[in-house]
Structure 1
Amino acid sequence: MNKLIRRRETHSSVQWDENKLHPLLARVYSGRGVRSSQDLDLGLTHLLPPAQLLNAERAAKMLADALAEQQRILIVGDYDADGATSTALALDALKSFGATQVSYLVPNRFEYGYGLTREIVELALEQGKPDIIITVDNGISSIDGIATAREQGINTLITDHHLAGHQLPDADVIVNPNQPGCNFPSKNLAGVGVIFYIMMALRSELRNRDWFADRTEPNLGRLTDLVALGTVADVVPLDRNNRILVAAGLQRIRAGQARPGIIALLEVASRPLRGVVASDLGFAVGPRINAAGRLDDISVGIECLLQDEPSAARRLASELHQKNQDRRQIEQGMQDQALQLLDELALDEVGVPVAMTLYQGDWHQGVIGILASRIKDRLHRPTIVFADGDESEIKGSARSINGIHIRDILDAVATRHPGMILKFGGHAMAAGLTIPRELYRDFNTAFIAEVERHAKDVELQAVVESDGELGAGDFALDLANELRFAGPWGQHFPEPVFDGHFKIVQQRLVGDKHLKLVLSLKDSQQIIDAIAFNVDLDVWPDESVLEVEVAYRLEVNEFRGKRSVQLMVEYLRAL
């Protein structure tokens, strides 16, 4: 699909310290809403205080009482990287505070589905009745599960970041920046960020109780590697507060002070510690943890994160690496089938609909979310991919585009068509749902109609946001290196992308699907290497094309000990 390259607006009124900031970097920051040099100070002292997070102090008192009484604490997590890091952080922190009876339970997505359900409470009772259940990265929609826990006399603390439905669970305490009545300035905390904030509040409460008079007070900064990983992997917007958390974790990892599990996962992904950036967490570490939850049991990922012994961490990291390889193979087969289905729809002739759903019974439930994301990126349309669930149900994973709030869309469909959606949850860009199998076609019609109602003012043309052109002197190793470490870059604070017209000097395929290019600046003889991954093989290479419009990232390429500038192509169009 052709894309529109659109240059970001910058604000010339912003005041920068010119001695400390390269002019190009100043332009990049300005285009992302940074208004002063002070906004770039990402020290932990600038974190929003836990007291501003609704019920964080109530949760701290509840947990402090549980520690004092040595209550049995059960953490109920989620089966993705945010859930895994949240679970590991809660377990690690509570033990460091002195908890002696704390354990975790994560639902197997294929047996129990998502969140704290009645079945999970019953399973917890079989393993030994807890005094308190803490949900991490889930719980805000667990009406029945919380009710069951209360019936059994179990205290409940929900820690979550997903959007609340019309009814809140009747938990003892709910901490969620997105719940009604919470005025926390950052609504973008990941699940791991929420539980980290509660642990900061708990430490303050324990200080007030002189808990550390005869104990060593733990350094919560050592948990920021987990916070950074879960925050980046869950693709939440990197507002300043989240960038502070991610920057602290990255600094810890680069210094070699991360937990053995994260170090081992970076090693199996061939990412050197000293050069780790946020994208390494998002594209290398996160997927390997997610693979465990997608294909089997996320507890392998959690145990890897909890390991103190490097050798054991490496063994578990290797297991996760293999699961990720298996996941890729499954995904490729599903993607080939999905593209065949799209070909059968003849979209080039009839036009791309405003939204897309795909269903195949034998697709893997754990991988449909990735497939939905791939199709969404290809078509630039909200996309839901379904696979068979239990008995007469099918389960769907939805991904959306800017301007279409996918959870609100599902809520509207459920309201207009009672009984069509059995359950759903999520946020603006991603959601999950279950529907009766026989209602798939009806749901497809209702979903497309609802998206049409909301899409009147939404740009359905795929857009590449660019930070403008680079001058000949900007294609420099030092600047590429400075841009790499200047973030942390991520969702809503994206890595810099530039655009320009170039002449093609050479073009060839490498690895059967990647296009290696040698380009020259249009108005000079300067030569630059570039690479475009996973190109359309029906189009490239094309020896007849002499000039191209390119949107790209400025990267440092290391090969056999030699470092050079390379353009990582985001979009390529023949001129």
Structure 2
Amino acid sequence: MIKRWVFCPPNKPLQTELASRLKISQLLAQVLINRGIIDVASARSFLQPQIGALGDPSLLPDIEKASIRINEAVRKGEKIVIYGDYDVDGLSATALMYRCLELVGAKVSYYIPERLEEGYGLNADAIKKLREGGANVILTVDCGINACREADIARTHGIDLIITDHHRPGQEIPNAFAVVNPKLHASNHVFHNLSGVGIAFKLAWAIGQHFSPQKKVSSEFKDFLLSAVGLVALGTIADVVPLLGENRIVTKYGLSALQYTEIPGLRALLDVADISHRNLDAFHVGYRLGPRLNAPGRIGNAGIVVELLITRCKERAVEIANFLEQENKRRQEIQIDIMASARKKVLHELDLDETTAIVLADEGWHPGVIGIIASKIVEEFNRPTVMIAVADDIGHGSARSIPSFHILEALENCRNKLLSVGGHAQAAGLKIHPDNIDAFREMLNSMTSQRLCKTDLVPVLNIDAEVTLSMLSKALVTELARLSPHGEGNPIPLFAATNLKIVGQPRRIGSKGQHLSFYVKQGDAAIRAVAFGMGEHMDRLRQNGRTCSIAFAVKINNWMDNEQLELEVKDVKFDNE
């Protein structure tokens, strides 16, 4: 698919100021400016994140009330149940709170709803079951902000419901004992983009403060919190919240905590993912750990993941990690089949010139993996996409979107065709009666066709700067590494170089020849370029005398202990096309 290159406008005066004040290159200064970091203090804190800069937990609404009630429950020996979610954010939040409450001597258990049987969030049957089991306090993590009916049910059963959630509140706030959600607070002093596990971390911190008269946690509790940032990094990266502000801090420190963790389940997970002896980055969490942790919740029961993250038994941890590995392989097989089916529907049943939103439905699809497929369809066809798995007269849907379109707002405007909806700007979930799918598809397409123009449907590559090959070096790559961890809100820097000659013989690489390796030359500088997934462009590259422009990320390849500068190509434009 043709990509539209959008160059960030260079700001030479600000570049010069940041570069001289911070002793960094002009190129790094421009990348910071492109990320909205435009003053020296902000740039310094971005490049040198400090864990001491995390906001005090007391800034969050209702967190004092919640921590006091939990401490009271601990003193009285009341039963606390942590009610989580089946994704990585919810599971890591559940494990973090369980470890925290166990540390302070609470009578604690956890509950993870079944994705297919119960769906997302609090449900009335589970509340009744937990009350029958003796629950006095239910503490939600990563869910509950729209559970108004369920909050009333909990109250009538004599349960104190404490909600901690990071999702966007609706017009009505649940009448719970406490509702901890940074999006309820308008203050600029509150960081609003915490993940579910980020809020659980703040609550754990507040609980620790309440056990100390000086509001300073004990050394034992401090060790727990420093270890727990590994769990925070897991959920924060996997939930694709912006890796800026406090999320950047906990992710930076959390990746290090993960690498050296003594939690048996995490050690076993690092082993099965074959990344035990690597310097971990956000990629390893997002693409190696996250899928394995998500797999049981997609195609089975996610509760076993919490057991992995809280067990002290190394043998049991290894057993569960191996089980997750098998579940993930099973998930991959299911996913391959559904992806092929979905692509076939797009290519044979839709007119993409007339389709601004893709809505696909099938009775043979597994509802646990359609969210992943929706993301891949968006990636390939660059249109808001809803995948619906139909079973037993109900459609379970997962929606993903393009940057310029707020999918949750659009779905809320289609609410009269849906049974339920919830989520974020770029990702949402829904339930729908099968009879309404065609009308819903028409309504969503009508909405997107009014709000999106042709250029919105062309994928965008945001280019940080145009560079010459002579500007690139191993030292520059090392300097740019200060921008990590990368993720939502802080992408890996992309550059463009023009008027390049392709030299030598380009060749296909990869097990199926699906990738390309070639050299580009500009003046006296020549650098190897690798283009993943672009094997079909081999003939275009081989035409003699061709010049091109490439968009790329620059990195160091450490193949066989030999460090070599390398360009990871994101797009190629030939000058005579």
Match of 1:396 in 2: 397
Of 448-457 and 108-117, more deviation after overlay is shown by 448-457
| Residue 479 (structure 2) pairs with residue 479 (structure 1) | no
Match among 78, 83, 86 for residue 76 of structure 1: 83
Match of 1:147 in 2: 152
**Distance of aligned partners of 1:166 and 1:47 in 2 relative to their CA distance in 1, 3 Å threshold:** same
How far 1:494 sits from its partner (Å)?
0.8
Instruction: Please give the secondary structure, in 2, of the residue aligned with 1:308.
Output: coil
Match of 2:338 in 1: 334
Equivalences for residues 18-57 of structure 1 within 5 A: 20-35=23-38, 36=40, 37-40=43-46, 41-57=48-64
Deviations 1:185-221 (A, max 9, x none): 32211000011111112222221389989x9544312
Q: CA contact under 8 A between 1:484 and 1:555: conserved in structure 2?
A: no
Equivalences for residues 267-346 of structure 1 within 5 A: 267-345=271-349
Match of 1:571 in 2: 571
How far 1:562 sits from its partner (Å)?
2.7
Q: CA contact under 8 A between 2:145 and 2:173: conserved in structure 1?
A: yes
Q: CA contact under 8 A between 2:469 and 2:522: conserved in structure 1?
A: no
Q: Partners of 1:210 and 1:55 in 2: how far apart?
A: 17
Match of 1:60 in 2: 67
Match of 1:530 in 2: 530
Q: Partners of 2:239 and 2:187 in 1: how far apart?
A: 21
Question: Residue type matched to 1:571 in 2?
Answer: D
Q: Partners of 1:180 and 1:435 in 2: how far apart?
A: 32
| Residue 259 (structure 2) pairs with residue 261 (structure 1) | no
| Residue 383 (structure 2) pairs with residue 381 (structure 1) | yes
Match of 1:406 in 2: 407
Of 453-462 and 33-42, more deviation after overlay is shown by 453-462
Match of 2:200 in 1: 195
Q: Partners of 2:534 and 2:322 in 1: how far apart?
A: 30
How far 1:406 sits from its partner (Å)?
1.1
Q: CA contact under 8 A between 1:549 and 1:572: conserved in structure 2?
A: yes
Q: Partners of 2:232 and 2:144 in 1: how far apart?
A: 19
Q: CA contact under 8 A between 2:18 and 2:24: conserved in structure 1?
A: no
Equivalences for residues 501-516 of structure 1 within 5 A: 501=498, 502-504=500-502, 505=504, 506-512=506-512, 514-516=514-516
How far 1:371 sits from its partner (Å)?
0.6
- Counting aligned pairs with the same residue, the percent is 30
Question: Residue type matched to 1:558 in 2?
Answer: N
Match of 2:123 in 1: 117
How far 1:508 sits from its partner (Å)?
1.1
**Distance of aligned partners of 1:568 and 1:466 in 2 relative to their CA distance in 1, 3 Å threshold:** same
Match of 1:365 in 2: 367
| Residue 460 (structure 2) pairs with residue 470 (structure 1) | no
Deviations 1:34-67 (A, max 9, x none): 2324332311111122222111111111112112
Q: Partners of 2:411 and 2:200 in 1: how far apart?
A: 28
| Residue 246 (structure 2) pairs with residue 241 (structure 1) | yes
Question: Residue type matched to 1:80 in 2?
Answer: D
Instruction: Please give the secondary structure, in 1, of the residue aligned with 2:568.
Output: strand
Instruction: Please give the secondary structure, in 1, of the residue aligned with 2:414.
Output: helix
Deviations 1:548-567 (A, max 9, x none): 43222222323233332222
How far 1:471 sits from its partner (Å)?
3.3
Question: Unaligned stretches of 5+ in structure 1?
Answer: none
Q: CA contact under 8 A between 1:54 and 1:183: conserved in structure 2?
A: no
**Distance of aligned partners of 1:49 and 1:458 in 2 relative to their CA distance in 1, 3 Å threshold:** farther
How far 1:270 sits from its partner (Å)?
2.6
Instruction: Please give the secondary structure, in 2, of the residue aligned with 1:494.
Output: coil
Number of aligned residues: 562
Q: CA contact under 8 A between 1:531 and 1:566: conserved in structure 2?
A: no
Q: Partners of 2:539 and 2:154 in 1: how far apart?
A: 61
Equivalences for residues 401-480 of structure 1 within 5 A: 401-414=402-415, 418=416, 420-455=417-452, 459-480=456-477
**Distance of aligned partners of 1:473 and 1:270 in 2 relative to their CA distance in 1, 3 Å threshold:** farther
How far 1:470 sits from its partner (Å)?
3.5
| Residue 256 (structure 2) pairs with residue 251 (structure 1) | yes
Question: Unaligned stretches of 5+ in structure 2?
Answer: none
Q: CA contact under 8 A between 2:155 and 2:161: conserved in structure 1?
A: yes
How far 1:177 sits from its partner (Å)?
1.3
Q: Partners of 2:51 and 2:454 in 1: how far apart?
A: 39
How far 1:145 sits from its partner (Å)?
2.3
Deviations 1:513-532 (A, max 9, x none): 53121222233351314131
Q: Partners of 2:26 and 2:381 in 1: how far apart?
A: 36
**Distance of aligned partners of 1:124 and 1:548 in 2 relative to their CA distance in 1, 3 Å threshold:** farther
Of 142-151 and 157-166, more deviation after overlay is shown by 142-151
Instruction: Please give the secondary structure, in 2, of the residue aligned with 1:318.
Output: helix
| Residue 180 (structure 2) pairs with residue 175 (structure 1) | yes
Of 86-95 and 177-186, more deviation after overlay is shown by 177-186
Q: Partners of 2:482 and 2:197 in 1: how far apart?
A: 23
Of 111-120 and 16-25, more deviation after overlay is shown by 16-25
**Distance of aligned partners of 1:346 and 1:299 in 2 relative to their CA distance in 1, 3 Å threshold:** closer
Question: Residue type matched to 1:459 in 2?
Answer: D
Q: Partners of 1:327 and 1:572 in 2: how far apart?
A: 33
Q: Partners of 1:216 and 1:526 in 2: how far apart?
A: 55
Question: Residue type matched to 1:96 in 2?
Answer: L
How far 1:536 sits from its partner (Å)?
6.9
**Distance of aligned partners of 1:181 and 1:476 in 2 relative to their CA distance in 1, 3 Å threshold:** closer
Q: CA contact under 8 A between 1:76 and 1:105: conserved in structure 2?
A: yes
How far 1:381 sits from its partner (Å)?
1.2
Greater share of residues in helix: 2
Aligned-residue RMSD, C-alpha: 2.5
Q: Partners of 1:17 and 1:476 in 2: how far apart?
A: 20
Q: Partners of 2:467 and 2:273 in 1: how far apart?
A: 32
**Distance of aligned partners of 1:513 and 1:574 in 2 relative to their CA distance in 1, 3 Å threshold:** farther
Question: Residue type matched to 1:231 in 2?
Answer: T
Match of 1:185 in 2: 190
How far 1:171 sits from its partner (Å)?
0.9
Instruction: Please give the secondary structure, in 1, of the residue aligned with 2:298.
Output: helix
**Distance of aligned partners of 1:543 and 1:181 in 2 relative to their CA distance in 1, 3 Å threshold:** closer
**Distance of aligned partners of 1:491 and 1:574 in 2 relative to their CA distance in 1, 3 Å threshold:** same
